[in-house]
Structure 1
Amino acid sequence: MDNSNLLDEIEELNLAYLLLAQRMLGDDRATAMFRLKIDDEMAELLLSLGARQLAQLARTNQLLCHFGHAGADQLRQVTHNQREQGLSRFHASLLMASRPGQNGAFVPQGS
Structure 2
Amino acid sequence: MTATNTSALAEIREVNLAYLLLAQRLLQDDRMSAMYRLGLSGEVADVLSALTLAQAVKVASSSHLLCRFRFDDHTILASLADKDKSPAFAQAHAAILLADAPVAQIG
* TM-score above 0.5: yes
Contact kept? 1:70, 1:99, Cα under 8 Å: no
Match of 2:102 in 1: 100
Residue correspondences, number: 105
Does 1:38 pair with 2:43? Answer: no
1:93 CA drift (Å): 1.5
RMSD (Å), alpha carbons: 2.0
Match of 1:65 in 2: 67
1:56 CA drift (Å): 0.5
Q: Distance in 1 between matches of 2:99 and 2:22?
A: 19
1:80-95 map, 5 Å? 80=82, 82-95=84-97
Match of 1:7 in 2: 9
- The structure where helix makes up a greater share of residues is 2
Task: Report the CA distance shift for 1:93/1:81 in structure 2 as closer, same or farther (over 3 A).
Answer: farther
Contact kept? 1:69, 1:99, Cα under 8 Å: no
Q: Structure 1 runs of 4+ off > 4 angstroms?
A: none
List alignment gaps of at least 5 residues for structure 2: none
Secondary structure, counterpart of 1:53 in structure 2: helix
Percent identity over the alignment is 37
List alignment gaps of at least 5 residues for structure 1: none
Give the aligned residue type for 1:69.
F
